[in-house]
Amino acid sequence: MSGDPAKVENPRRHALVGLKRDIEHEMHDLAELLKKASADVGGRRSWAGPNATAWHSDIEGRRKVMLAQLSSLLPTVQAEINRTPEKVSPTEAKLMQLDLRR
């Protein structure tokens, strides 16, 4: 019998892959939601005037910053996925699962 027990899926890696998928999904959803809000005001469908123009400029600026910040997360999460082993020992997996529940 070898001293190397069977390896199991790494729960931390699984969580990181899920996080990346969630970020990508949220980026799409938030971009579309803010795009619609901006278009409604910017196109003068629901509000016109100097305040509407200022609001439109503000929401467009915030939208761009938010999407840039979310986009910068993706390479960071991917780098961590790449560093995280696919398989770990059952004991390591159990400890990781406990840690992920916090």
For 35-77, write each residue's pLDDT tens digit.
777 777 765 567 778 888 888 888 888 888 888 888 889 999 9
**Overall domain count for the chain:** 1
- Would 65 be classed as within a structural domain? yes
**Whole-number pLDDT of residue 51:** 84
**Whole-number pLDDT of residue 27:** 83
Query: Which has more pLDDT, 49 or 97?
Result: 97
**Whole-number pLDDT of residue 1:** 45
- Would 3 be classed as within a structural domain? no
- Would 13 be classed as within a structural domain? yes
Range of the domain at 62: 8-100
The DSSP line for 8-37 is: EE-HHHHHHHHHHHHHHHHHHHHHHHHHHH
Kindly report the average pLDDT of the chain as a whole number. 85
Model-level pTM greater than 0.85?
Answer: no
